[in-house]
């Protein structure tokens, strides 16, 4: 559901400004997380407020496990933004607050997912289903 300069966010249950980053976020919520990985909409939140180093921040998307614990952070960028260490570092900073198992970065053209292994994260070739993320 879109209306000109706005796009519907089913997680915030309202129309929000249609920006290139917001289009990526809504595509990832609907096509990847909900349809592809089977994440129920009520187990995701967009624009999640958190505090890191006494500074307010916002995680683009947080996926929650059945237990209610955060299990994935998704950092979305505009399609023209190259994904690299800066974007990964941003998600890792959020993770110091949320302590998730999965970190994902996407610009709509490329998506990289990582899973915690020991003290670090390794690249995931295939996205797990939501049930597998528990």
Show me where the domains of the chain are located.
2-133
The DSSP annotation for 40-71 comes to -GGGEEEEEEEEETTEEEEEEEEEE-TTS-EE
pTM: 0.94
d(Cα 39, Cα 61) in Å, to the nearest integer?
Answer: 12
User: CATH number of the domain at 2-133, please?
Assistant: 3.90.1570.30
Each residue's pLDDT tens digit, 6-52: 999 999 999 999 999 999 999 999 999 999 999 999 999 999 999 99
């Amino acid at each position: 559901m879109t209306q000109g300069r706005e796009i519907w966010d089913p997680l915030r249950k309202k129309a929000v400004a249609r920006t290139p980053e917001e289009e990526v976020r809504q595509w990832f919520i609907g096509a990847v997380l909900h349809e592809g990985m089977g994440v129920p909409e009520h187990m995701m939140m967009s624009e999640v407020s958190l505090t890191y180093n006494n500074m307010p921040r916002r995680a683009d998307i947080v996926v929650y496990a059945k237990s209610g614990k955060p299990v994935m952070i998704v950092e979305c960028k505009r399609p023209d933004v190259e994904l690299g260490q800066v974007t990964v570092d941003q998600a890792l900073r959020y993770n110091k607050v949320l302590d998730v198992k999965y970190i994902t970065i996407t610009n709509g053209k490329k998506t990289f997912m990582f899973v915690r292994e020991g003290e670090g994260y390794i690249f995931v070739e295939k996205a797990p289903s939501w049930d597998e993320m528990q």
